[in-house]
């Protein structure tokens, strides 16, 4: 056995306490340098791999064979190169989300990775519900090429895929900034308000044009607000109290806050909505448009500058400065053309059930109905979410999203 060749030891069998300790104890008795190690337990089935440079590989292999009989496991030993250990080229996390996540879809994605010389080093389950999600650690493939190929395949398979560099910065994202209408909330608040004013259909038509980028947002907002002239502020409050969160929104915000993230909301809508959400969800930073009020009625005008796509990106920067977080450690989530600049500026831009302009600008898209699936793209597992909830048992989350409204305690 030459200097570039080591011994790869693979242990498989029913897991129980003490197996790993005894294997490493025997290796220590025979000397040698551990190069790499990986262990996983799947449904009480242990798989342990150890790459090392032993003093006497034949003697160690014989001793391990005896230990295998004693432990009731299988231990194999085979020569393996150690010359390039740890030098596998660029590494990326590939997060796959589906509802359901078919085995055929995983096979196609894995095939694309292999075609691009990507080697799957590790697969971790992130969640079983409300969606299925897995994280692949892939080495050797160019990131941009991998992202493009897997995005195309994901569209064909009707699943979502996110590709991110496997660096510390991925879990170091510390500020999450969300759009409000059709992201944090179901639907567009202005359309609900317009229904009260009797101009719902006209406002919906203008909203759709603006969200798809066919109409400049500032002009569209002023046109829609003008239709609300004369609406009583008391009626506006009633409408706000009937708005519904997107399923998973409470879980997302609560989990992020519990794990030390700061959360911001920025809206092309109105402060009456964002102020209310800020109070109930303990949002750290918020910005939106201000409706002008005179004698208890809306005047049909907006006070100050309009929060358009440029302003949203600038506000993300402002929030990051206030939080002491560089833009590279921010996450932006949105759905429409008004979110394009913000999605492009963030360290990670996520298009959530989005229109085409937002999908094209974002780093990745998520097309499942649950907002808390965002957590999986950050590498946060369902077990971590439940552990965070268990740490605060006096404030349980009811986040089914079934006709759920923001009444009552959070």
CA distance 228 to 230: 6
- Set out the domains of the chain in order of their start, with CATH numbers: 5-81 (3.30.70.260), 91-166 (3.30.70.260), 176-390 (3.40.50.1000)
Q: Are 240 and 191 in contact (CB under 8 A)?
A: no
Q: Structure tokens of 191?
A: 């359309």
10 Å Cβ neighbour count for 185?
A: 23
Dist CA 308 CA 381 (whole Å): 34
Pairwise CA distance, residues 404 & 410, whole Å: 12
Q: What pLDDT score does 196 carry?
A: 86
Sign, CA torsion 231/233/238/239: positive
Edge-to-edge order in the sheet of strand 175-178: 297-303, 285-294, 262-270, 175-178, 330-334, 348-352, 364-366
Confidence (pLDDT) at 83 = 63
Q: How many CB atoms lie within 10 A of CB 227?
A: 20
What does the pLDDT profile of the chain (410 residues) look like in tens digits? 444 578 999 999 999 999 999 999 999 999 878 998 988 888 889 999 999 998 899 999 999 999 999 999 999 999 987 765 555 679 999 999 998 899 999 999 999 999 999 999 889 999 998 899 999 999 999 999 999 999 999 999 999 999 999 886 766 779 999 999 999 999 999 999 999 889 999 999 998 888 788 888 899 999 999 999 999 999 898 899 899 999 999 999 999 999 889 999 999 999 999 999 999 999 999 999 999 999 999 999 999 999 999 999 999 999 999 999 999 999 999 999 999 999 999 999 999 999 999 999 999 999 999 999 999 999 899 998 988 788 765 455 566 543 333 332 22
Cα 47 to Cα 61: distance, rounded to the nearest angstrom: 18
Quote the pLDDT of residue 398: 61
User: Are the C-beta atoms of residues 38 and 73 closer than 8 Å to each other?
Assistant: no
Report residue 226 as tokens. 């003008």
Q: What integer pLDDT is reported at residue 403 of this predicted model?
A: 35
Catalytic residues: 179, 181
Phi and psi (nearest 5°) for 84? -110, 20
Tell me how far the alpha carbon of residue 266 is from its chain's centroid.
19
Predicted confidence at residue 207, as pLDDT, reads: 86
Cis upstream peptide for 249 (omega within 30°): no
Whether 63 contacts 52, CB under 8 Å: no
Number of H helices, E strands in the chain: 15, 15
User: What pLDDT, on the 0 to 100 scale, is given for residue 199?
Assistant: 94
Residue 110 Cα to chain centre, angstroms: 21
Q: What is the spatial order of strands in the sheet that 45-54 belongs to?
A: 32-42, 45-54, 5-14, 74-81
DSSP-based three-state secondary structure for 115: helix
* DSSP string covering 135-171: EEEEESS-HHHHHHHHHHHHHHHT-EEEEEE-SGGGT
- Residue-by-residue DSSP string for 163-230: EEE-SGGGTT--EEEE-TBTTTBSS-HHHHHHHHHT-HHHHHHHHHHHHTTSS-HHHHHHHHHHTTTT
pLDDT confidence of residue 97: 96
Token pair in block for residue 400: 């089914």
Cis before 384 (ω within 30): no
- Is the distance from CB of 93 to CB of 144 less than 8 angstroms? no
């Amino acid at each position: 056995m030459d200097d570039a060749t080591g011994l790869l030891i693979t242990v498989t069998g029913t897991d129980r306490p003490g197996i790993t300790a005894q294997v490493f104890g025997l290796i220590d008795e025979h000397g040698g340098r551990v190069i790499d190690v990986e262990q996983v337990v799947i449904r009480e089935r242990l798989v342990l791999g150890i790459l090392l440079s032993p003093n006497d590989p034949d003697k160690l292999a014989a001793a391990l064979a005896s230990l295998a009989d004693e432990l009731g496991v299988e231990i194999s030993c085979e020569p393996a190169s150690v010359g390039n250990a740890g030098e596998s080229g660029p590494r990326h996390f590939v997060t796959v989300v589906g509802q359901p996540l078919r085995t055929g879809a995983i096979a196609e994605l894995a095939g694309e990775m292999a075609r691009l010389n990507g080697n799957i080093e590790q697969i971790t389950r992130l969640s079983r519900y409300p969606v299925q999600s897995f994280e692949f650690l892939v080495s050797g493939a160019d990131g941009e090429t991998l992202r493009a190929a897997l995005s195309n395949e994901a569209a064909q398979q009707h699943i979502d895929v996110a590709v991110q560099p496997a660096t510390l910065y991925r879990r170091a994202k510390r500020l999450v900034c969300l759009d409000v209408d059709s992201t944090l909330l179901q639907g567009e608040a202005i359309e609900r308000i317009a229904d009260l004013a009797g101009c719902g259909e006209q406002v919906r038509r203008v909203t759709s044009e603006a969200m798809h980028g066919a109409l400049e947002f500032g002009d569209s907002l002023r046109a829609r607000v003008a239709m609300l002239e004369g609406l009583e502020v008391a009626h506006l409050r009633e409408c706000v109290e009937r708005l519904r969160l997107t399923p998973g929104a409470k879980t997302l915000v609560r989990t992020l806050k519990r794990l030390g993230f700061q959360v911001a909301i920025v809206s092309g809508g109105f402060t009456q909505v964002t102020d209310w959400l800020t109070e109930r969800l303990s949002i750290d930073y918020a910005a939106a448009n201000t409706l002008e009020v005179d004698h208890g009625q809306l005047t049909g005008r907006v006070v100050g500058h309009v929060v358009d796509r440029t302003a949203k990106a600038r506000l993300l920067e402002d929030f990051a400065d206030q939080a002491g977080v560089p833009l590279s450690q921010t996450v932006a989530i949105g759905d429409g053309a008004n979110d394009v600049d913000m999605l492009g500026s963030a360290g990670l831009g996520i298009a959530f059930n989005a229109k085409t302009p937002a999908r094209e600008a974002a780093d990745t898209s998520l097309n499942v109905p649950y907002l808390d699936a965002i957590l999986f793209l950050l590498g946060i597992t369902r077990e971590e979410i439940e552990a965070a909830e268990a740490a605060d048992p006096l404030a349980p989350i009811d986040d089914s999203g079934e006709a759920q409204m923001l009444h009552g305690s959070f």
